[in-house]
Amino acid sequence: MNTPTTQEESHTPHKVRSDRPFYVGLLLLSGVYVFLILAMVLANSAYTSIDIFARTLASPEIQYAIKLSLITCTITTVLSLWVATALGYCMSRFEFTGKRLLDSVLDIPIVLPPLVIGLSLLILFRSTPGAWFEEQFKYLTGYRITYAVPGVILAQFMVACAFAVRTMRATFDEIPTRREEVALTLGCSRSQAFWSVALPEARRGLLVAATLAWARALGEFGPILVFAGATRMKTEVMPTSVFLQMSVGDIESAVAVSMLMIFAAMAVLLVVRFWGSESYVR
């Protein structure tokens, strides 16, 4: 026989469990990864010194690598923004046959190992069409592509642009189409609606895409090593400088260049965190 429940018992509140284990778990899981990142940076800092840093920066080879890195990363970022804006807009605004297939193709540079991208580029420019294109490029510009500075830019571009495309597509997906539709009903063409409505709305995404592309290009190593090589005072950028310094046993200089790359990446990320904030953009 069931015992009847009194009114007092039915309104007895349940005991609320403590959230302390939950917060402890969050702290531990989050803190381990943050600790590893900070520990690596601190270990690099402890391994080098101001004198080693100054000696490394005084090297003509390192100065050339820094200059070439800044130039190629900037060119790569500009190219990536043009392509990513067009692709991101098309993937966000239009429906067409094969869109899912194209979406998968755009992710190939992200999921492939960097060395495979460099090897694929090398094979492409060893094929008959690729060799013909390189000859035409050399005839027009005086530069080869493989094992030359244009090869550095192309290797950086193949990876950095993929991240910029993803950023720009997500940006356009978040922008309502209503304003563009209103502009079209008022007599604007699709291109006028894009330049006067969609693109200004996407300025924050453009800044984030540029930052990601530049930072990714700065740290690119595998495709550059395979496709452009690591020749001193020719195709040497900062990541390949680290590799070359390690190959001759100069670990201290390699760490110094690594720290310089860390500082540059942090500076870029801090800039985008400030200038790309909602309060500033609006």
Spatial distance between the Cα atoms of 229 and 9, rounded to a whole number of angstroms? 78
Residue 179 within any structural domain of the chain: yes
- What was the pLDDT predicted at 282? 40
Residue 12 within any structural domain of the chain: no
- What was the pLDDT predicted at 9? 53
What pLDDT band is residue 280 in, cutting at 50, 70 and 90? very low
Per-residue pLDDT at 10 exceeds 70:
no
Spatial distance between the Cα atoms of 93 and 101, rounded to a whole number of angstroms? 16
Rounded to an integer, the average pLDDT of 142-167 is: 94
Q: Are 260 and 41 in contact (CB under 8 A)?
A: no
Percent of the chain whose predicted confidence (pLDDT) is above 90? 49
Residue 16 within any structural domain of the chain: no
Residue 206 within any structural domain of the chain: yes
The DSSP call for residue 142 is: S
Which residues, in sequence order, are CB contacts of 243 under 8 Å at separation 6+?
A: 221, 225, 230, 254
**H or E segment and range at residue 247:** helix 238-247
Residue 258 within any structural domain of the chain: yes
Taking alpha carbons only, the member of 194, 243, 178 closest to residue 86 is: 194
Which residues, in sequence order, are CB contacts of 121 under 8 Å at separation 6+?
A: 151, 154, 155, 158, 223, 226, 227
Residue 139 within any structural domain of the chain: yes
Per-residue pLDDT at 277 exceeds 80:
no
Our count of domains for the chain comes to 1
Residue 1 within any structural domain of the chain: no
Spatial distance between the Cα atoms of 139 and 132, rounded to a whole number of angstroms? 11
Spatial distance between the Cα atoms of 212 and 219, rounded to a whole number of angstroms? 11
Per-residue CA distances from 215 to 76, 94, 258 (Å): 10, 30, 14
- What was the pLDDT predicted at 45? 84
Q: Are 81 and 210 in contact (CB under 8 A)?
A: yes
Per-residue CA distances from 67 to 54, 160, 213, 268 (Å): 16, 19, 18, 17
- What was the pLDDT predicted at 281? 40
Q: Are 118 and 225 in contact (CB under 8 A)?
A: yes
Tens digits of residue pLDDT in 216-247: 999 899 899 999 998 889 999 999 999 998 88
Instruction: Output the domain CATH number for residue 138.
Output: 1.10.3720.10
Spatial distance between the Cα atoms of 278 and 173, rounded to a whole number of angstroms? 17
Place of tokens 């080098």: 48
15 alpha-carbon distance from chain centroid: 48
Percent of the chain whose predicted confidence (pLDDT) is above 70? 91
Per-residue CA distances from 274 to 212, 281, 282 (Å): 15, 10, 13
Burial class of residue 218 (count of CB atoms within 10 Å of its CB; 0-12, 13-18, 19+): buried
Tens digits of residue pLDDT in 52-102: 888 888 889 999 999 999 999 999 999 999 999 999 999 999 998 999 999
Domain that holds residue 219: 60-281
Residue 84 within any structural domain of the chain: yes
